[in-house]
Copies of this chain bind each other. A is one copy, B any other.
Amino acid sequence: MTVSARLADFVAASRWEDIPAPARHEAKRALLSYFGTALGGSRDIATQHLLQVLSRFSGPAEAGIIGHQLRLDMLSAAFLNAAASNVFDFDDTHDPTIIHPTAPVAPVLFALAEHRPVAGRELLHAFVLGVEIECRLGNAVSPEHYARGWHITSTCGAFGAAIAAGKLLGLVPRQLVWALGSASSQASGLVETLGTMAKSVGVGGAARGGLFAALLAQQGLAGPDEPIAGPRGFAHVTAASPDFARLTNGLGESWEILANMIKPYPCGVVLNAVIDAAMVLRQRLGGKLADIAQLEVVAHPLLRQRTDRPAPLSGREAQVSAHHAVAATLLHGLPGVDQFGDAWVGREDVIALRAKVYLVDDAAMPVGAVRLSAQTTDGRLFRVEIAEARGSRSHPLSDAEIEQKLRRLCQHGCPGLDPAPLIDAVWSLDEQADAGVLMRLARP
């Protein structure tokens, strides 16, 4: 039996009852984060450009765009919501692969749910399965796939979207393999595009391509028997030595969604501990930032290698600048999308404070830990140590913090919308008769 057929059989046979409660709950947390980041990104310039072009070619207005009144055809809506939810890289992250698992998968399901009634648990079930295959595929081709230059969210996302859509459409195993085949014909996305708007073309394309693949399979469009593990299939072509055991071992026993992390801050995850430390320091300093003479960040050399950017010139660069992270957090408190945007990067007070930050290596410290010290002009020393950042798997955001994240992102991208009913509807999604309700609640 081929690897692709085993995955298809598992997905087709899976029942809602098979999904354990922790996985169901984690799925809701991911969806809450999804609506938050999609609302937050709904007015971003990349989102707007994509919306302009896609709406010009859209078919029937059957599926909503989160944070907009506008409705587009399912394929275009899936594209746009995927792109918007990932545009700030503030969406959830699958720890072992750094896939953003929800962006390509969730929009496909909600587009289908607006087209015909889908029960909340049907959608949640398909979502968990889509994420499962997407992330297992990521496991199988990691770490070489990303290291070589593949934007793993976009590439593996197309397969996750195809599986999720296929499950919701009730495809039989043979059709699910075909869907994987047509997904393999579209899987794309390069690391080279990260930090530019073209990244969003890959992420949107993963959602659209996956949905298209499932619809084609439903129509009868056949593909190869082994699109994933065949000699010229996706895995071998994009990674020299894929590990197929990681795709198929323990299917239905372990759940990849449980390895999902919700980001607390809209920047590179390596900066999470830095910001945690700056939050504590800010409280200790009681707002007396003018007294600061210098700010020392001590960490494993990896932090310096990735984030030593004393003078970022754009929001994109600031998102991987430890100097900016410290300065913006001290000045503002809990940093949001604005604090990692172009305007904040150019503020005089930010620039002045950033100039006082420097990084020091300590190879003896564990990766992820940070020691932040502030020395004041009158010689006092404040020191904060963070052993493990918020948002990591062992230190996850609370449900309330994810709600808070959604509210703040909604305020940023779609201030006209009251997010409270949407938040409630996500938590009760498994009881909803019509999952499409959530899209109406995400419409201003």
A residues at B contact (CB < 8 Å): 46, 49-50, 52-53, 56-60, 73-76, 148-151, 154, 178, 181-182, 184-193, 195-199, 201-202, 205, 209, 212-213, 215-216, 219-224, 226-227, 230-234, 236-237
- Contact A186 B212, beta carbon cutoff 8 Å: no
- Contact A187 B188, beta carbon cutoff 8 Å: yes
When C-beta atoms are compared, the residue in chain B nearest to A60 turns out to be: B57
Q: Complex Cα distance A95/B171, Å?
A: 41
The answer to whether A232 and B192 touch (CB under 8 A), given A58-B59, A198-B224, A219-B53, is yes
Q: Complex Cα distance A151/B190, Å?
A: 17
Instruction: Please name all residues of chain B whose beta carbon is closer than 8 Å to the beta carbon of A209 when the two chains form the complex.
Output: 205
- Contact A232 B190, beta carbon cutoff 8 Å: yes
Q: Complex Cα distance A232/B191, Å?
A: 6
Q: Pick the contact of A185 from B52, B148, B190, B212 — CB < 8 Å?
A: B190
- Contact A186 B215, beta carbon cutoff 8 Å: no
- Contact A53 B212, beta carbon cutoff 8 Å: yes
Q: Pick the contact of A181 from B149, B178, B198, B230 — CB < 8 Å?
A: B198
Q: Complex Cα distance A120/B442, Å?
A: 48
Q: Complex Cα distance A111/B118, Å?
A: 37
- Contact B237 A223, beta carbon cutoff 8 Å: no
Instruction: Please name all residues of chain B whose beta carbon is closer than 8 Å to the beta carbon of A73 when the two chains form the complex.
Output: 57, 59
Q: For residue A250, give the distance in angstroms from its CB to the closest CB of chain B.
A: 26
Q: Complex Cα distance A191/B227, Å?
A: 10
- Contact A224 B193, beta carbon cutoff 8 Å: yes
The answer to whether A198 and B226 touch (CB under 8 A), given A212-B53, A233-B149, is no
Instruction: Please name all residues of chain B whose beta carbon is closer than 8 Å to the beta carbon of A178 when the two chains form the complex.
Output: 198
Instruction: Please name all residues of chain B whose beta carbon is closer than 8 Å to the beta carbon of A186 when the two chains form the complex.
Output: 186, 188, 201-202, 205
The answer to whether A221 and B198 touch (CB under 8 A), given A58-B59, A188-B188, A216-B49, is yes
Q: For residue A134, give the distance in angstroms from its CB to the closest CB of chain B.
A: 16
When C-beta atoms are compared, the residue in chain B nearest to A237 turns out to be: B149
- Contact B53 A223, beta carbon cutoff 8 Å: no
What would 21 A/B residue contacts be, using CB atoms closer than 8 Å?
A: A49-B220, A49-B221, A53-B221, A57-B74, A59-B59, A149-B231, A154-B185, A181-B198, A185-B190, A185-B198, A186-B186, A186-B202, A190-B232, A192-B224, A192-B232, A192-B234, A196-B222, A197-B223, A201-B212, A201-B213, A201-B216
Instruction: Please name all residues of chain B whose beta carbon is closer than 8 Å to the beta carbon of A223 when the two chains form the complex.
Output: 193, 196-198
Instruction: Please name all residues of chain B whose beta carbon is closer than 8 Å to the beta carbon of A222 when the two chains form the complex.
Output: 196-198
- Contact A185 B188, beta carbon cutoff 8 Å: yes
- Contact A192 B230, beta carbon cutoff 8 Å: yes
Q: Pick the contact of A227 from B184, B190, B213, B231 — CB < 8 Å?
A: B190
Q: Pick the contact of A57 from B49, B53, B59 — CB < 8 Å?
A: B59
When C-beta atoms are compared, the residue in chain B nearest to A226 turns out to be: B192
Given contacts A181-B196, A186-B186, A198-B222, list 4 more A-B pairs with CB under 8 A.
A49-B216, A56-B59, A148-B237, A192-B227
- Contact A185 B205, beta carbon cutoff 8 Å: yes
Which residue, A56, A198, A223, has most C-beta atoms of chain B within 10 A?
A198
Instruction: Please name all residues of chain B whose beta carbon is closer than 8 Å to the beta carbon of A59 when the two chains form the complex.
Output: 56-59, 73
Q: Complex Cα distance A384/B196, Å?
A: 60
Q: Complex Cα distance A237/B202, Å?
A: 15
- Contact A221 B190, beta carbon cutoff 8 Å: no
- Contact A185 B193, beta carbon cutoff 8 Å: yes
- Contact B46 A221, beta carbon cutoff 8 Å: yes
When C-beta atoms are compared, the residue in chain B nearest to A58 turns out to be: B59
Instruction: Please name all residues of chain B whose beta carbon is closer than 8 Å to the beta carbon of A236 when the two chains form the complex.
Output: 149
Instruction: Please name all residues of chain B whose beta carbon is closer than 8 Å to the beta carbon of A46 when the two chains form the complex.
Output: 221
Q: Complex Cα distance A148/B148, Å?
A: 14
Instruction: Please name all residues of chain B whose beta carbon is closer than 8 Å to the beta carbon of A216 when the two chains form the complex.
Output: 49-50, 53, 201
